[in-house]
Amino acid sequence: MNQTEVKCIHACKNTCAMLNEALRKEASIVRFYEGILEDCNLPEVKSFITETIEGKRKGILKIIQKLNEIQARSQVVDGLISSFNNTDG
């Protein structure tokens, strides 16, 4: 899948399709690096790949954090909307 195949639908509810796709791809890249790390016997390269994996994992955590923020914000908005729609109170 190339860049142009992922399109923002601008109608995400409690999440973001673009960030979910980025998360999926980043996790796939980490798995790839972990796989080649097992076969690597050059300490310099092994160290470089390990650092790269750690950087990717930090990026994954940032994406997850942003997705959680989006979900929390959406839940707050949904709560506000439902409180205005509540005819019981």
Judge whether 19 lies within some domain.
no
Judge whether 10 lies within some domain.
no
Query: For residue 71, what are its two tokens?
Result: 């979900």
pLDDT, one tens digit for every residue, the chain (89 residues): 455 576 776 667 767 889 999 999 999 999 999 999 989 999 999 999 999 999 999 999 999 999 999 888 877 766 666 777 766 65
Judge whether 15 lies within some domain.
no
Judge whether 18 lies within some domain.
no
In the chain, how many domains are there? 1
Q: How far apart are CA 35 and CA 39, in angstroms?
A: 7
Judge whether 49 lies within some domain.
yes
Predicted pLDDT at 29: 97
pTM of the model: 0.74
Judge whether 14 lies within some domain.
no
Q: Which domain holds residue 53?
A: 25-82
39-66 residues labelled b (16+ CB within 10 A) or e (exposed): eeeeeeeeeebeeebeebeeebeebeee
